[in-house]
Amino acid sequence: MRAALIILLFWCALPLRAEEVIAGLSQNRVSLTVNFEGSEILIFGAVRREALLPADSDLDVIVAVEGPPQPAVIWRKARRLGIWVNTDAQEVRAAPSFYAVATTRPLRDILSPEADLTHRISTRLAIFEARGVSDRTDPAAFTEALIRIREEQGLYQSRYEAVTLERDTLFSTRILLPKTIVEGSYSARIFLVRNGDVIDEFETFIDVQKAVLERWLTNLAYEQPFLYGLLALALAVFFGWGASALFRLVRS
């Protein structure tokens, strides 16, 4: 009884949040099929307030969608005796397989470095670096190279001013998941920002999974490669014979 009373008093002593974000997704499940060409996710929400709208600062919204982390190795090429070869390398312990940041205004204008470091919102801070295999390796340079490569692949996206905020209350944005995404759990974090600081955060998840047939074929290829080879050979023979029979039928 005493413990419950202490918890109740502590809860009552907590300050009410002046602004709280409530958000949702157009879909929280994506199925990776053979003909999957990407998927667009609509992220929307509203700001609930327990007090009057502050007049001395602007409200901004940041949306960050992150895919499952994966290790990565980035190599630097150099010309040796007229041939381009790999020289230095950098191993990254964990880099998001997909990362997209959408904001109401440019990120550097609305988020302080301290808040970014705390919440790891920018693409640069979402990547955990590791020491390179060579003392000459510059981790920052390799991280920038990884970001540049994945931006070209559409796996890393910086969509500044892509969040629409109406009357400092309703917001929405769209995030495109490219066809090269991997399966797993994708987190969608929504931040409310004032004066460079995060005042509230909301998190939800998107489940990306292979369809039943695709998952069965993938498991078969890894767990029973011999049977997978026989199945592929049988299908090739069947479709080859079918095409030949159809060709003869058309010519007759």
Which uninterrupted H or E stretch holds 27? none
Percent of the chain residues topping a pLDDT of 70: 71
Sheet holding 128-129, edge to edge: 69-80, 83-96, 128-129
Mean pLDDT of the residues in the chain: 80
CA distances from 160 to 13, 121, 164, 200 (A): 38, 13, 11, 20
Residue 127, CA atoms < 13 Å, CB-side half-sphere: 28
pLDDT at 12 over 50: no
pLDDT for 10 equals 40
CA dist., res. 68 & res. 77, Å (int): 28
Q: Give residue 86's pLDDT.
A: 60
3-state secondary structure of 176: strand
Across the range 102-128, mean pLDDT stands at: 93
Indicate the helix (H) or strand (E) that contains 234. Answer: helix 225-251
Q: How would residue 6 be classed by pLDDT, with cut points 50, 70 and 90? A: very low
d(CA 88, CA 67): 27
Residue range 121-136, pLDDT digits in tens: 999 999 876 544 444 4
Q: For 64, phi and psi rounded to 5 degrees?
A: -125, 120
For 196-250, write each residue's pLDDT tens digit: 999 999 999 999 987 655 555 556 566 667 665 766 667 677 666 766 666 677 6
User: What value does the mean pLDDT take over residues 137-164?
Assistant: 88
- pLDDT, tens only, 176-201: 999 999 999 999 999 999 999 999 99
Query: Measured between alpha carbons, how far is 200 from 18 in angstroms, rounded to an integer?
Result: 9
- Please give the sequence-ordered ranges of beta strands (E in DSSP) within the chain, or none if there are none: 19-25, 29-32, 39-49, 59-66, 69-80, 83-96, 99-103, 128-129, 156-159, 164-166, 170-177, 184-194, 197-210
Percent of residues, the chain, with pLDDT higher than 90: 46
Structural tokens at position 153? 């692949």
DSSP code of 80?
A: E
Query: Quick one: which of 145, 196, 130, 156 has its CA closest to 64?
Result: 156
Give the confidence band of 159 by pLDDT, cuts at 50, 70, 90: very high
**Would you state the pLDDT for residue 202?**
96
106 touches 122 (CB < 8 A): no
pTM of the model: 0.73
For residue range 13-67, list pLDDT tens digits in order: 444 568 899 999 999 989 888 788 889 999 999 999 877 777 778 899 999 999 9
